Structure 1
Amino acid sequence: MTRTRIHNLSISLDGFATGEGQASDAPMGHAGQRLHEWMIATRFGAPIVGRTGGTVGVDDAFAQQHEPGIGAEIMGAGKFGPPSWQDDADWTGWWGPNPPFHTPTVVLTHRPRPSIEMEGGTTFHFLDAAPAEALDAARGLADGRDVRIGGGPTVVRDFLAAGLVDHMHVVQVPIVLGRGVRVWDGLEALEEDYEIEVVSAPSGVTHLTFDRKTS
C-alpha cells in the first residue's frame, strides 16, 4: 500500500514552518534560511546551496530519508511560488529548469494551468482539489511508490486534519519566529493517532518522527 510521508518539516519553537512576508526574493518570509540551516549544513543539504561536503551525523541521516521510495509529491501554491504567481504565465517555480523533485508533482491551486514538464523527471500538475482527491491523483502518478507531502504548512495541516499522513518527520529548530504560518493549529490531540520518537542532535535541533498507529 502506498504510504503518505512528510520529511524534513522544520518548525520554530513556537510552531511556525514559514515566516511572514513571503515574496519573490523571500521564499520563507522573514524566517529566511534560519529554519533550514541544520539541513544545509549536512551532506544531503549542501548541494541545495551549491556546496559540496557537509556533515554526516544524525541530521544527515534523517535528511537523507527525504527521497527513497517517493514516486510523487504534493505541494501547495505557496511552496510553488510567491503570492500571485498565477498571474505570471512564465512562472515555473523557484528551482530553475531542473527542480529537485524528479517525480510527478501535484501543485494545489485554485487557478489550475496546463502541466509543465521540467528537466530531471519533474512534471508539475496543477489541481484544484481537496486533500483526499489530490492524494488519489498523486497515487495514480506514483507508480506504486509513496507520496510525499512537501508543504507548505497549510497543506501539511490540511492533510493531517484529514487523517491522510502515515509518516511525518518534524525538525524543531531552537528559534522563535513570532509570526508566519503555524503547523499545529486545529490539530488538538494529534499525538493520539501516532507513535512518536524524539532524537536530539548535536546541532541543537530535535527530530520528531510520527508513525500512524496500526491498532
Structure 2
Amino acid sequence: MSDVRIHNLAISLDGFATGDGQALDSPFGHAGERLHEWFVSTRFFRAADGLPGGTFGADNAFAERHEPGIGAEIMGAGKFGPPGWHDDPDWKGWWGPTPPFHTPVFVLTHRPRPSIDMEGGTTYHFLDATPNDALEQAREAADGADVRIGGGPTVVRSFLAAGLVDHMHVAQVPIVLGRGVRLWDGLESLEETYDIEAVSTPSGITHLTFTAKNR
C-alpha cells in the first residue's frame, strides 16, 4: 500500500505552523514569510521557479524530498485559499493557472464545489470527508504512488490523530510567533508511535523526521 507523507511543514519554536490573521495579502497571517525563508532560498525551490542559485546542503536535501513518488495531495480549505474563498466562484487557489502539484489534489472543505482542471496536470477535487475517506479517494487517484498531506496544521493534526501518517518532516524555524494555529495540540506521546530524528543546519533550522513504527 502507498505511504502517506508530509514534507517541509514549517513551524515556529512555539509550534505554530501559520500565524494569526490569514488574508488574501497575507497567506500566513502575521508570520509573513518568516516560516519559509529557509525553503525559498534552497536550490530546489529556486530551480522549480526557473531561477538560478540557491543553497545546497541539508536544507536543500530535505526540500528535495517533497516531490518524488507523490501521486496525489490532500490539503485543507485554509491552504487552498484565504477566509471567504468559498464565496468566490472564480477562486482557483493561490498558485495561478499552473499549480506546482501536477497531480490530483483533494481539498477538504465543508462546502464542496465541482472539480477544477488546471494546467500542468493538477485537478482540484473538493471533499467534505473524514481523513480515512479522503485518503481512500486520494490513494485510488494516486494509482500506487504515495499521498502527500500538504497542510495546513489542522489537517495534518487530524491525519496524525487518526494514525494515518507514515512519514513526516517538520522544519522547526528559530522564531517565536505567539499566536496562530499550532501543530502539536492534542498530539501527546507521538514518540510512542514514531521514531523521531533531528538534524540541525547552519541556517538555524532543526529538521525533525517522524517515521511510523511497525509499518
Given that residues 116 and 123 in structure 1 are in contact (C-alpha distance below 8 angstroms), is that contact kept between their aligned partners in structure 2?
A: yes
Aligned counterparts of 1:48 and 1:163: Cα–Cα separation in 2 = 32
Deviation at 1:191, TM superposition (A): 1.3
The equivalent of 1:173 in structure 2 is 173
Aligned counterparts of 2:131 and 2:154: Cα–Cα separation in 1 = 11
Aligned counterparts of 1:77 and 1:193: Cα–Cα separation in 2 = 28
Amino acid at match of 2:8: N
Q: Deviations over 1:168-194 (max 9, x none)?
A: 000000000000000000001011100
The equivalent of 1:28 in structure 2 is 28
Given that residues 40 and 49 in structure 1 are in contact (C-alpha distance below 8 angstroms), is that contact kept between their aligned partners in structure 2?
A: no
Q: Deviations over 1:34-90 (max 9, x none)?
A: 000011110112256763220111100000000000000000000000001000000
Aligned counterparts of 2:212 and 2:109: Cα–Cα separation in 1 = 28
Aligned counterparts of 1:11 and 1:146: Cα–Cα separation in 2 = 23
Q: Give structure 1 stretches of 5+ with no counterpart.
A: none
The equivalent of 2:55 in structure 1 is 55
TM-score using structure 2 length: 0.98
Amino acid at match of 1:51: L
Counting only pairs closer than 5 Å after superposition, residues 108-147 of structure 1 correspond to structure 2 as 108-147=108-147
Q: Give structure 2 stretches of 5+ with no counterpart.
A: none
TM-score using structure 1 length: 0.98
SS in 1 for 2:44: coil
Amino acid at match of 1:114: P
Determine if the alignment matches structure 1 residue 213 to structure 2 residue 213. Answer: yes
Given that residues 40 and 48 in structure 1 are in contact (C-alpha distance below 8 angstroms), is that contact kept between their aligned partners in structure 2?
A: no
SS in 2 for 1:66: coil
Amino acid at match of 2:168: M
Amino acid at match of 1:140: E
Moved over 6 A (4+): none
Among all aligned residue pairs of Structure 1 and Structure 2, give the percentage whose two residues are the same amino acid.
75
Q: Deviations over 1:96-138 (max 9, x none)?
A: 0000111000000000000000011100000000100000010
Aligned counterparts of 2:101 and 2:47: Cα–Cα separation in 1 = 14
The equivalent of 1:78 in structure 2 is 78
Aligned counterparts of 1:12 and 1:46: Cα–Cα separation in 2 = 23
The more displaced of 113-122 and 42-51 is 42-51
The equivalent of 2:45 in structure 1 is 45
